[in-house]
Amino acid sequence: SQTIHQWPATLVQPVGSPLSLECTVEGTSNPNLYWYRQAAGRGLQLLFYSVGIGQISSEVPQNLSASRPQDRQFILSSKKLLLSDSGFYLCAWSDRGRRAFFGQGTRLTVV
Amino acid sequence: QKEVEQNSGPLSVPEGAIASLNCTYSDRGSQSFFWYRQYSGKSPELIMFIYSNGDKEDGRFTAQLNKASQYVSLLIRDSQPSDSATYLCAVNSNAGKSTFGDGTTLTVKP
Q: Which of residues 40-69 of A touch B (CB under 8 A)?
A: 42-44, 46, 49, 51
Distance from C-alpha of B103 to C-alpha of B105, rounded to nearest angstrom: 7
- Taking contacts as CB-CB distances below 8 angstroms, the residues of chain B near A101 are 46
Instruction: Write out pLDDT tens, residues B26-58.
Output: 988 888 999 999 999 899 999 999 999 999 999
* CB burial string B14-39: b at 16+ within 10 A, e below: eeeeebebbbbbeeeebebbbbbbbe
By the 10 Å C-beta count (0-12 exposed, 13-18 middle, 19+ buried), B40 is classed as exposed
B97/A46 Cβ within 8 A: yes
Which pLDDT belongs to residue A59? Answer: 82
Instruction: Write out pLDDT tens, residues A52-91.
Output: 998 998 887 678 999 999 999 999 999 999 999 999 999 9
The residue-averaged pLDDT of B9-34 equals: 93
